[in-house]
Structure 1
């Protein structure tokens, strides 16, 4: 990979594109869409903060109480003219308790971010986010909010980086808990899982790299190493004789990463306390010592890292931004469609009444079309067959008619050999076939007079789920009629009592009541197939009770017409 020098950084960066991405971050679009980003990850005490200091030239607070306890987005932008400006804002997390207050907070009167100024800002942000400042206050240690630092000036390079809390394995009594450990790990993983993120993975060179938890996490989310740029810190602390292993790693002889490895030598604790050591000069002197002088310049030092990052971030942004724009456009269209579906504003009483009237008119139109079988008038009839009200009623009538014809009488009438005097042989045969077919389909010994299962909350309103015996065979009808005749005889001579017909008809039609009640008083809602009740009958009564209908168009409406 060819690396440009710092003199032509402006040819690598794409300010307009990076500005668009940063504005999307500021609008919290990253909560809904994966945005291209550079995220710095690593275990605690891996040298992550020192690497960021070298990249950003900012004096990160080293007070243990002000260490990274939330994600920090640092944005550098070059402007043509004007003074250097520093603006601090907060992007609330999804679980923030005071999102409005966090969103309104802004610090824009900073002249610099030296150690004292940075510590003051961090202390204010900690308090605003409600983070713990002592062991006894009971407040959370970490937060999902994001601190956003935007630094613009004529001498700044175009770079945007996100710093997240460091992974830790052991908890500190009174400071961190197992829940904090799991929260930080999940927070870091959330940034790493973003397929459009470039991971700057910081690992100390003086330990066994395989034991670093961040390496396991990196392999989990980026098994092919396409999005990972490795940074090795603390090369000056490597045991003598073990340098060759680190050199092999940097030269891509093992644990290969597509973006490679770079060694960075940060200042030691004594050098930091003295405050007189030039970081870049000390790093350059160390690079010239064996065996580090065998490495190429693009694999050692903070300048090489910054150049590599600018190139990598710009290429990543150019490749992924078309997809980001497409996803944003799609989500905007979806939101606009949802807003349009909500209808006009309904703030005033008149607007609310007008909206309800519109719903009622729409329901009335669909009902009229359903009753007149004008199914071509509305596309809803194609996508929701259950809206075809008239058709469903007619089909239900056919079921009721067949039930009455097949099961309605107690005894089946016998026919003579010549058939019914009012019907042709073919008609009688066809009718018999229909009856036998209906019985075959039923395959039951008892008829269920209602076609739907019980619904507890409607049991008071509807007819009970009764069953009845099948029709008595026609061979028994003669003996039954004879018994009815003998049980109804009076003082008539040579004839039978006029009450015989009423008596036989009463018993022969005994099932009519239960079948008719089940048909009239209990049906499926013709709109949603859900249960509903009508006290008078759907065909005869002008009452159409949709109280139990949950269709979105007529939900919670009671229509009487």
Structure 2
């Protein structure tokens, strides 16, 4: 009696899974399946014959060189259909050749006819079946032979047979490489997390030493999806051997959660008995001791029922996940193809591809320069692309360090350059508040560390920017008045109450000595940030390494180096003008600061001579000095001291104006114009205009598809076709 079908819905689901396997989806996503594995002499073919009712042709070299998918289906008419499922990486020509192979047999199966069909299939797959047959490719194939067995007594069951593992090559036919190839093929099927492994082993060997069981354990360490199938029990003649088999089947030994089953093969001399006759002989054999103790796990019928239940269970359990994985894999495949863009076989398509890439580059760059981060996912995935934010932070660190440490010597304690009281109220309200020493040190340290990392990453910048990070030291604690006096003494002339113009120039050049290394380090850091931004953005927008490398090395690096050098040259130009020229300013804050400093100096000199009004008038408060004291306040100073104090006040007032002016100019001209916003800024180097200027040779070099890329595109296209068809199957 045939086993009763479990329902049309179950049959449809199993049919869908078979269809997915035909579409080669199994090479992309694990599918629920039964795989029979074993050594060449394990009795595997006999087990398959009994399970499927399909008698493999008894001819040398057949049914052992590739994976075989055998699907049994109930049908009123007995028939066998044999076809080939091409390997996943088959090119279109080979694929069409393999798909064109289809043979159909109605009625009873004839061994000779089957042998001829299998021989033709082997030739179609290019399998070498005779020693020294150089007309064929190899002894094994990655293609799958599909056998559909239909009949009134069949029930839906699909099993996959893989080549038997062998250890000794046949000279002229198989090689040591073939041994490894077969073992890897078997491992690949066994490693599928949705595969039920049927490990076939003869009873008359030591099970513990069976290599196939070790391979199964490596693929299924917990033993949850491996079933042992023990064959040739009639050859286990010793009592100890039989007892060991009984212990395995009842679960006293072994770790396989699905346990063991025992089946009896037909004898080597039996070439004429029918499946029914062999089933009756097997049933009679297992009615004898000691097999009656494990009768529910003996015989092909018990094994077949158990396999159908397991296959149905895993199929129901995993089918929703298979569907979800197909959808996810298809989305990823389409995204990869979209990122590759259309095929680039000619100059027109190559220019169009680069043009779109350049447009995307400029669109994202403008968003990065305008801090318009909300509409671009790239800024979330890679915050280092927030160019203007990074640049403003860098400029703030530069401005703070410049204000706190850029002067060589401290100004007089009474007029410290770091004190906001030195400026008039309007200046104080508009200046950036001084940062704390801790914050200043922390930000400066981060800047230095980041610069070193970028310098190590981009060796093409080494001969353009400074090659070492600069840590600006604190000003010398020695007041600058001593140096002013020295310079005045060394350059004074016959002038009365005045001083030579070279005094201010000399003092300013000395006091601003750290401006140059600090500025050049800052501009170098800004260049490194811009360079890093360009490279990062190119990597994000152009995932194809060949195109990206050619763009970077052949098209962008040299022009970028020219633009960076212009920025550095302009920074040096500004330094030479500011430090090497005659001090001059038309900023009215200079006079405001100067007058305030003179007033403060006078107030400090009279402080000890002032009288508190409260001591004389109760209704008044504050301090005052008499006119007589004011008239005599400057009488005790010699001419040199008076002139040097005037020089200090003038110099300090000018230094403050020049310092702020220079920080702004560096940002406006070098950073903003030369690096960010100017028409010839580096971030605008890669744009549609550049693409339009490329000649055909350059287009082919940069955007032409190499063989590896073409192969990847073809693989993705084939994958998309298979997955799209698979999605229709699972949704049907």
Give the TM-score of the pair, scaled to structure 1.
Answer: 0.80
* 1:335 aligned residue: 333
Match of 1:188 in 2: 186
SS at match of 2:671: coil
Q: Kindly state the Cα deviation for residue 443 of structure 1 after the two structures are TM-superposed.
A: 9.2
Could you say which residue in structure 1 is the equivalent of 2:70?
74
What do the CA deviations read for 1:156-180 (whole angstroms, capped 9, x no partner)? 4322110012233455555544443
Q: Does 1:516 align with 2:519?
A: yes
SS in 1 for 2:682: coil
Aligned match for 1:24, one of 17, 20, 25: 20
Shift of 1:133: 3.5
Shift of 1:328: 1.9
2:719 match = none
Q: What is the CA distance between 1:204 and its match in structure 2?
A: 1.0
For residue 434 of structure 1, report the CA deviation from its aligned partner. 4.6
Structure 1 window deviating more from structure 2 (533-542 vs 23-32): it is: 533-542
Match in the other structure for 1:117: 113
Paired residues for 1:396-411 under 5 Å: 396-411=394-409
- Give the aligned partner of residue 617 of structure 2: none
SS at match of 1:288: helix
Cα distance in 2 between the residues matched to 1:7 and 1:434 = 85
Q: Is the 8 A contact 1:38 1:198 kept in 2?
A: yes
Pair 1:267 & 2:270 matched:
no
1:354-373 residue pairs with structure 2 within 5 A? 362-373=360-371
d(CA) in 1 for partners of 2:449, 2:290: 90
Greater Cα shift, 66-75 or 379-388: 379-388
More deviation, 336-345/184-193 = 336-345
* 1:54 corresponding residue in structure 2: 50
Map of 1:231-242 to 2, 5 A cutoff? 231-242=229-240
Are the aligned partners of 2:32 and 2:195 in contact in 1 as well (CA < 8 Å)?
Answer: yes
Task: Name 2:509's counterpart in structure 1.
Answer: 506
Match 1:89 to one of 84, 91, 97: 84
**What CA deviation, in whole Å up to 9, does each residue of 1:66-86 have, x standing for no partner?**
351221111222346x67351
Cα separation, 1, equivalents of 2:346 and 2:450: 51
Task: Give the alignment of 1:289-328 within 5 angstroms.
Answer: 289=285, 290-291=288-289, 294=292, 298-328=296-326
- What secondary structure is seen at the aligned counterpart in 1 of 2:159? strand
Give the TM-score of the pair, scaled to structure 2.
0.63
Residues of 1 paired with 2:9 and 2:471: CA distance?
Answer: 84
1:296–1:96 CA distance, 2 compared to 1 (3 A) = farther
1:288 paired with 2:284, answer yes
1:38 is aligned to 34
* Aligned counterpart, 1:108: 103
| Alpha-carbon distance in structure 2 between the residues aligned to 1:511 and 1:93 | 66
- Per the alignment, in what secondary structure is the counterpart of residue 539 of structure 1? helix
Of 450, 455, 459, the match for 1:456? 459
d(CA) in 2 for partners of 1:161 and 1:448? Answer: 61
Do the aligned partners of residues 12 and 312 (structure 1) sit closer, same or farther apart at CA in structure 2, a change above 3 Å counting? farther
CA contact (8 A) 2:484 2:507 kept: yes
Rate the CA distance shift 1:194–1:464 in 2: closer, same or farther, 3 A.
closer
User: Which SS does the other structure have where 1:538 is aligned?
Assistant: helix
> What corresponds to 2:556 in structure 1?
none
CA distance in 1, matches of 2:462, 2:205: 74
The SS at the match of 2:189 is: helix
Shift of 1:190: 2.2
Q: Deviations over 1:214-254 (max 9, x none)?
A: 22333444455443333222122222545454445445554
Partner of 2:682: 545
3-state SS, counterpart of residue 149 of structure 1: strand
More divergent stretch after superposition (528-537 vs 50-59): 528-537
Q: CA deviation at 1:140?
A: 4.0
Higher deviation after alignment, 146-155 or 186-195: 146-155
Q: Structure 2 regions of 5+ residues with no counterpart? A: 536-559, 568-669, 693-732
The structure richer in helix per residue is 2
Is the CA contact 1:202–1:233 (under 8 Å) kept in the aligned structure 2?
Answer: yes
Query: Which runs of no fewer than 5 residues in structure 1 stay unpaired?
Result: none
Instruction: Pick which of 359-368 and 475-484 moved more.
Output: 359-368
Which residue of 525, 530, 553 corresponds with 2:529?
525
* Structure 1 residues 394 and 137: alpha-carbon distance in aligned structure 2, compared to 1, 3 A threshold: same
C-alpha distance in structure 2 between counterparts of 1:71 and 1:300, whole Å? 27
Q: Would the alpha carbon gap of residues 555 and 122 (structure 1) be closer, same or farther in structure 2, given more than 3 Å must change?
A: farther
Aligned CA distance change for structure 1 residues 437 and 271 (closer, same or farther; 3 Å): closer
Residue 90 to residue 422, structure 1, CA distance change in 2 (3 Å): closer
Counterpart in 1 of 2:139? 141
Deviation at 1:29, TM superposition (A): 0.9
SS in 2 for 1:40: strand
Between the aligned partners of 2:235 and 2:91, the Cα distance in structure 1 is 41
CA distance in 2, matches of 1:300, 1:397: 82
